[in-house]
Amino acid sequence: MRIIQISDTHLSPGKAHFTDNWAPLADWIAQQRPDLVIHTGDVTVDGADVEEDLRYTAELLRGLGARFRAVPGNHDVGDAGHVSQPVSEERLERWRVHFGLDRWVEDVEDWRLIGFDAMLLGSGGHEETLQTRWLEAVMHDAGGRRIAWFLHRPLFLGRPDESDTGYWSVKPQPRSLLFQLLRRHAVALVASGHLHKAHDFVRDGTRYIWAPSSAFLVGPAMKAPPMPGENRLGAVVYEFGGRTIEARIVAVPGLSRHWIDDVAQEVYPRRPDK
């Protein structure tokens, strides 16, 4: 069972700065013949405010010729506690119209893959409560399958007990609740996006994979805190067989190495965390 994870495509018909990377990505995916494609968010440049971005990008994904699942990123549905783009029921509804539910389960081989909406974490609303109950239930009902999580934002940058990193990783309070679940059910894999960095490591028996973006790299102008990982574009190829997994972060031929630093004023005139 071959699954391809892509992330942070940041596509839009109105802001086409990264659109040139879609065709090589789509061609490469077709050659890989995956059973499933998982997109870990920031599918769009600004689906949180521009519905056309969601419509256009969902159409592109449907054109891949492979089944796909997606979880939203901050640019798709807004973010918990964001000043100008808070995640809201209206934004979630728009996402769901074009991409389906923002949380899902896929049982493959002896694995249960669980995608969920990192933008709800710490939002404190009804939707977060529903998602928490759902997550506990689908993990409880996994029937002995190994568990893999797919979400946009990584749980942490350096250490699970690190303090608040702001925009970059899950806030400490929802993180600690997730870690209780992760430990109780021995989650084997946590796959995320958001950082536009490639990283693959094991911590306390759980493998963490940061999928690179296929759109752009993040340079010093974005003032990210120090973090591990490589500045490269690409995707992740998973082979699930029985209870085992092989995963490789790979380059995708033909991607242009855009840097957000060069176009941030045009693409995101407001800083994304403000």
Coil, helix or strand for 198? strand
Footprint on residues 63-82 left by Fe ion (CB under 5 A): 73-74
Compute how many residues bind Fe ion; rule: CB under 5 A. Answer: 5
**Helices then strands, each counted (H, E), the chain:** 7, 13
Looking at beta carbons only, is 15 or 146 nearer to Fe ion? 15
3, 4, 6, 8: which one binds Fe ion (CB under 5 A): 8
Looking at beta carbons only, is 69 or 197 nearer to Fe ion? 197
Looking at beta carbons only, is 239 or 262 nearer to Fe ion? 262
Looking at beta carbons only, is 8 or 102 nearer to Fe ion? 8
**Is 42 among the residues that bind Fe ion (CB under 5 A)?**
yes
The tokens of 177 are what?
């609740």
Looking at beta carbons only, is 45 or 113 nearer to Fe ion? 45
Footprint on residues 197-256 left by Fe ion (CB under 5 A): none
CB 100 to Fe ion: min, Å: 20
**Are the C-beta atoms of residues 144 and 109 closer than 8 Å to each other?**
no
The tokens of 40 are what?
């870990």
CB 260 to Fe ion: min, Å: 9
Among 14, 6, 57, 54, CA closest to 30: 6
Q: Which residues contact 25 (CB under 8 A, 6 or more apart)?
A: 6, 9, 214, 235, 252, 255
The tokens of 231 are what?
């500045």
CB 151 to Fe ion: min, Å: 11
What is the C-alpha to C-alpha distance for residues 127 and 120, in angstroms, rounded to an integer?
7
What's the one-letter identity of residue 198? A
Q: Which residue is nearest to Fe ion (CB)?
A: 42
Report the interface residues with Fe ion, using CB under 5 A. 8, 42, 73-74, 194
